[in-house]
A and B are shown apart, each in its own frame.
Chain A
Amino acid sequence: MHEYPITKRIIEISEEFAKKNNADDIKQINLVVGDYSGYVASSIELYFDLIAEDSICKNAVLNIERVEPKLKCSDCGKLFKRKPFSFACPYCQGEGRPTEIGQEFYIKSIEV
């Protein structure tokens, strides 16, 4: 639901960077989306074509790199993907704590 305005913002930022680099056609946008970012990659894709139509992104391919959330074990320090209904570390049964991994939402680069 809230992907529409943010997709517009993705196009805006890409255009700003393209203009700064004197490019008038964007061929690819490389976006990084964590699964805990609050944004659904497939919804962004859905809106992208619609919004990009009237912009220099109209021929652009949106490449979304998804990031799975990881917890970090407080005991052994390892990063792991949590199992449903648990925060336990699969290596040592210690307790995992949230990390920034999985909360990303940024444009890594554009290709012009």
Chain B
Amino acid sequence: MSENNEIEVMQSVYDKNDEVAKQINEALTAKGIFAINVMGAPGAGKTSTLIKIIERLDGTTPYVIEGDIEADIDTKTLLALGVKTIQINTNGACHLDSPLIGEAVESLNIKDGILFIENIGNLVCPAEFQIGEHVKMLISTVTEGSDKPYKYPLAFEKANIIIINKCDLLPYVDFDEEYFMKGVRALNKTAPVFKISSKTGEGVQDVVSWIKQNLK
């Protein structure tokens, strides 16, 4: 009995976010900023890895947007090191989206350098949203186990660079690197994978070299 008249829509519901992300990306590029979306689980060592990278940037200016659900501990640490940082609290939301980044970028007066955007500690939602970045950096750890690519495929698929952190703990944990890499390569043929320790700084220089090669 229903006489519905069907109207074709075929429109992505992501459109607003992606449109804003594209604008942010263009604005950042015009300012000479290379933006890195840093993703990883809570406790993966995102902030400590950033600090080790920033210490080695050598002449390139770093900026940081710290996404957090509610705390600002990481921002205080970075500010104490003299890094221009701003805090975004999502008040419960599980990822950063592009309107949030747009506001933050405006308030951070930035030019010529690298913008690290530390996403919320979560391996699910951050992978799904463009936020105006040039590359996505995924930080996984040997303590999380080698099954992460199998459990969070999208994050590994979308990453442009993958870091295995806490490698100083390899003698103490059961991390099956072969199984991990098999999963990574099934999802992502091209992203380089770097083994580092954000505690000792081992391997970080290679990450910095990769970033510098990919600048501009």
Chain A residues with a Cβ under 8 A of chain B = 1-2, 6, 9-10, 13-14, 17-18, 21, 23, 27-28, 31, 36-38, 84-87, 95-98, 103, 105-112
Query: Cβ of B7 and Cβ of A112 under 8 Å apart?
Result: yes
* Given contact pairs A106-B13, A107-B10, A108-B10, A98 touches B153 in the complex (Cβ within 8 A): yes
**CA of A21 to CA of B5, assembled, Å:** 10
Main secondary structure of the interface of B (DSSP, over half): mixed
Shortest C-beta distance, A57 to chain B (Å), equals: 13
Interface size on B, residues (CB 8 A): 33
Nearest chain B residue, comparing its CB with the CB of A18:
B7
Interface string of B87-102 (1 = CB under 8 A from A): 0000011110100000
- Chain A minimum-CB-distance residue to B92: A1
When A38-B129, A87-B187 are in contact, do A23 and B5 touch as well, CB less than 8 Å?
yes
B interface, CB within 8 angstroms of A:
2, 4-16, 92-95, 97, 124-125, 127-129, 147, 150-151, 153-154, 157, 183, 186-187
Query: Is there an interface contact between B4 and A111, defined as CB atoms closer than 8 Å?
Result: yes
| Bound Cα distance A1, B122 (Å) | 13
Are A106 and B11 interface neighbours, CB within 8 A? Answer: yes
Check B153 against A37 for contact (C-beta < 8 Å): no
Task: Tell me if A9 and B16 are in contact (CB < 8 A).
Answer: yes
Known: A38-B128, A111-B6. A13 touches B11 (CB 8 A): yes
A residues near B10, Cβ cutoff 8 Å: 106-109
Contacts of B187 in A (CB 8 A): 87, 97-98
Distance between A48 CB and nearest chain B CB, rounded to angstroms:
13
Q: Give the contacting residue for B13; candidates A23, A87, A105; CB below 8 A.
A: A105
Residues of B within 8 A of A37 (CB): 128
Nearest CB on B from A86, distance (A): 7
Q: Smallest Cβ distance from A106 to chain B, in angstroms?
A: 5
Q: By the criterion CB–CB under 8 Å, are A110 and B13 in contact? A: no
| A31→B5 CA distance, assembly (Å) | 16
Contact: A2 with B125, CB < 8 Å? yes
Select which of B13, B128, B129, B183 is within 8 A of A10 by beta carbon: B13
Task: Return the contact of A14 from the options B9, B15, B183 (Cβ within 8 A).
Answer: B9
Q: A13-B9, A108-B10 are in contact. List 9 more A-B contacts (CB 8 A).
A: A6-B13, A10-B13, A103-B154, A105-B12, A106-B10, A106-B13, A108-B8, A111-B4, A112-B5
Nearest-CB residue, chain A, relative to B124: A38
- CB-CB nearest in chain B for A71: B186
User: Using Cβ atoms and an 8 Å threshold, which residues of chain A touch B151?
Assistant: 85
A-B contact pairs, 23 of them (CB 8 A): A2-B94, A2-B95, A13-B11, A13-B13, A14-B9, A17-B7, A17-B9, A18-B7, A23-B5, A27-B2, A28-B4, A31-B13, A86-B150, A87-B183, A87-B186, A98-B153, A106-B9, A107-B9, A107-B11, A110-B7, A111-B5, A112-B5, A112-B7
